[in-house]
Structure 1
Amino acid sequence: MKASKWVPVGRVSRTHGIDGAVLIVAYGETLGERRSDERLFVCLPSMRIPKALTIEDIRPHGRQWRVRFREVRELEAAQALVGLEVGVPEEELPALDDGEYYHYQLVGLRVETVSGRFLGTLKEILESPAHDIYVVEDERGREILLPAVVDVIRDVKLEENRVVVDPPAGLTDDL
């Protein structure tokens, strides 16, 4: 049987209270779709295989999610999770509509202009209230921020490992 690919859906930012609850910053919307009795996985530094944790309670808390796990009942156990990513097996991700992608599918792709000029590699995706922002790092370590809007992100070609963009005038002049 083939091993599942583990996909990060958030990062534990801090503990919440003294009874083992944690706050998680979500990557996208997948975490908010999880329910009680479903599992999230965490990969502790000492482990090679992610450990399953059962969600006892999950609810929004500002811009994060407050999560209580059945297996985590004390503050000390919750503190051990701070800074770690939580994820799900790839096959448990909800299906997306055409033209929609998960962050993990995009990070690492080559970013090129519509004319074929290589700008760099998609390093990170930042979420903002208006739209996502793609952080592209060039070969010299410089970053440019591209708004993830239709006028800028022209095409995503997963099979070719690249994103085609039409950056706003002047944004890439110094590259």
Structure 2
Amino acid sequence: MSKLKQANAPEQPLLVGHVTSVYGVKGWVKLYSHTDPMQGIFDYQHWWLKTPSGWKAVELGQGRLQGRGLVASIKGYSDRDQVKDICGLDVYIDAIELPELDEGDYYWSQLEGLRVITKEGVFLGKVSQLMETGANDVIVVRACEGSLDREERLIPYMPETYVVNIDLEQKEMVVNWDPEF
């Protein structure tokens, strides 16, 4: 039995998808994926499902693209009545299983929640999310207690141009951004 199955909960839960509904009669499910590309959810064999009574560790059997969506089988689930119990649940992985990135590269989940401060030391708020756009990703900075004002700011995620420094240990991002903009 793997170490993951013996644990009661993931150390660092990271939301990667959602079980939407039953697919077929052999215990497969339809999935919504938060990964990019969407088939990236299949890169992780060990999933955690957040149930009303706590965490449930499951293992991916098979997964594939089906039309414009995804379908998967979960080991230990062999018919549609069994998988009905997991429909509607969110799918997590343990972030400690993510591959190491090159220096200067970050997972979006690492940036969410960072304090955003201008080069001049003005606290703008915290990163609430990132958005993918055609030209570049955008950081959504939401006001919070202690921030300059109550404004939400959209800052292009352009390292060295607008994002000057990221310090994950200090949970801080320094930006080259005019607070009036």
Check whether TM > 0.5.
yes
- Tell me the CA shift for residue 13 of structure 1: 6.3
Equivalent residue number for residue 42 of structure 1: 49
* Preserved CA contact (<8 Å) 1:32 1:65: no
* Preserved CA contact (<8 Å) 1:10 1:31: no
Q: 1:63 to 1:161 in 2, by over 3 A?
A: farther
> Does 2:130 correspond to 1:120?
no
Equivalent residue number for residue 96 of structure 1: 101
Q: Structure 1: which 5+ residue stretches go unaligned?
A: none
- Tell me the CA shift for residue 122 of structure 1: 0.9
Count of matched residue positions in the alignment of Structure 1 and Structure 2: 167
Give deviations 1:151-173, integer Å, cap 9, x for gaps.
Answer: 22221111211011123x6xx42
Q: 1:29 to 1:68 in 2, by over 3 A?
A: same
* Preserved CA contact (<8 Å) 2:17 2:91: yes
Structure whose alpha-carbon radius of gyration is higher? 2
Q: What CA RMSD, in Å, does the superposition of the two structures yield over aligned residues? A: 3.3
Equivalent residue number for residue 81 of structure 1: 87
Equivalent residue number for residue 161 of structure 1: 171
- TM-score w.r.t. the length of structure 1 is 0.74
Equivalent residue number for residue 25 of structure 1: 33
Deviates more, 1:4-13 or 1:110-119: 4-13
- Tell me the CA shift for residue 115 of structure 1: 1.5
* Preserved CA contact (<8 Å) 1:54 1:69: yes
How many Å separate the matches in 2 of 1:9 and 1:162? 22
SS of the equivalent of 1:125 reads: strand
How many Å separate the matches in 2 of 1:90 and 1:75? 31
Give deviations 1:18-45, integer Å, cap 9, x for gaps.
Answer: 4432222224569716448x22111112
